[in-house]
Amino acid sequence: MNSLKRYPPLNLSNKITEIDVSHCTDAQLWEEFKLGNKQAFDYIYDQFFQSLCYYGDKICDDKNLVEDVVQDLFIYLWARKERLGKTTAIKFYLFRCLRRKLIRVVSQEKKRPDPFSTLKKESIPFQLSLQQHTTHTVEEDQLYDKLTQALYQLTERQKEAIYLKFYNNLSFQEVAAVMEIEVRSVYNLIGRTVDILRKNLNQTEVSITTLMVLMLSFLLSAT
Q: Which residue, 7, 89, 105, 108, is CA-closest to 56?
A: 105
Q: At what angle do helices 208-216 and 183-201 cross, to 10 degrees?
A: 80
pLDDT tens digit sequence for 86-128:
999 999 999 999 999 999 998 887 765 544 443 443 445 555 5
The residue extents of the domains of the chain are: 21-119, 138-216
Helix/strand number for the chain, H first, E second? 10, 0
pLDDT in tens, the chain (223 residues): 444 455 444 444 444 456 788 889 999 999 999 999 999 999 999 999 999 999 998 888 889 999 999 999 999 999 999 999 999 999 999 999 999 999 999 888 776 554 444 344 344 555 555 555 555 566 666 777 777 777 788 888 998 998 899 889 999 999 999 999 999 999 999 999 888 888 877 765 556 666 666 666 555 443 4
What pLDDT does 140 receive? 62
* Helix (H/G/I), strand (E/B), else coil: 122: coil
Instruction: Kindly indicate whether the domain formed by 138-216 is annotated with CATH number 3.30.1370.60.
Output: no
Instruction: Kindly indicate whether the domain formed by 21-119 is annotated with CATH number 3.40.50.720.
Output: no
- In terms of Cβ atoms closer than 10 Å to its own Cβ (0-12, 13-18, 19+), residue 181 is middle
DSSP category for residue 202: T
What pLDDT does 31 receive? 96
Q: What is the pTM of this model?
A: 0.76
Q: Which residue, 104, 91, 115, 102, is CA-closest to 59?
A: 102
Q: What percent of the chain has pLDDT over 90?
A: 44
